[in-house]
Amino acid sequence: MRFTRPTPGLPTDSDIDLAVPRQRAEPQWPVLAVISVGGIGGALARYGIGHAWPTPPGDFPWATFVVNVTGCLLIGALMVLVTDLFPHRRLLRPFLGVGVLGGYTTFSTYAVEIRNLIAAGAPATAAAYLLGTVAAACLAVFVGMTAARFVTWLVTA
């Protein structure tokens, strides 16, 4: 089926990809402004989830896991949609992708949590968290992209 194929013109880096001509010429100040505002929204959503769902020391960090995996599901869908359906909405990727989803997901907390699990004497949980997040994140990106490709296929068919 057509929608399972990679989208032509899809960038490799969702934040900024200078191989995409339009992104090289991105108007800097409006782009930076929407990234900043989006980043605030994403970071506060991440804080809210972490606050409502605290992880006791030595336990599997479910809040960060869910934040990162759902963020990956959404970036996969978003990148296909902005490339295929909304190529003229120039601030959509900077706002939702770079700002909201970039501010929402976090690599630094992931790294420090693995470090803390190892330091707390829970290496098995650390390993499960390390591998479980990266596997679930990649699967989520793929599912998001495929779902968005299916929607694009339905809409443009």
Partner 1 sequence: MTVLFIALGAAVGAPARYLTDRWIQRLHGGRFPFGTLTVNVLGSLILGLAAGGTATTTGVYALVGTGFCGALTTYSTFGYETVRLLESRAPRRALANAAVSIAAGLGAAFAGVAIGTAVWH
Binding residues for Na(+): 102, 105
Stretch that binds partner 1, among 55-63, 81-89, 98-106, 147-155 (CB under 8 A): 98-106
Of 121, 110, 128, 133, nearest to 57 (Cα)?
121
Which residue bears the tokens 């089926």?
Answer: 1
Nearest by Cα to 116 from 57, 63, 46: 57
Site string for partner 1, 100-119 (x = CB under 8 A): -xxxxxxxxxxxx-xxx--x
How far is Cα 136 from Cα 66, in angstroms, rounded to an integer? 10
Angle at 44 between CA 48 and CA 36, to 5 degrees: 170
Nearer to partner 1, 44 or 85 (CB): 44
Token representation of residue 50: 């972490």
Give, as ranges, the residues between 119 and 138 that touch partner 1 (CB under 8 A). Answer: 119, 130, 133-134, 137-138
| Residues that bind partner 1 in the complex, under the rule CB under 8 A | 6, 10-18, 31-32, 35-40, 42-44, 46-47, 68, 71-72, 74-76, 79, 94, 97-99, 101-112, 114-116, 119, 130, 133-134, 137-138, 140-142, 145
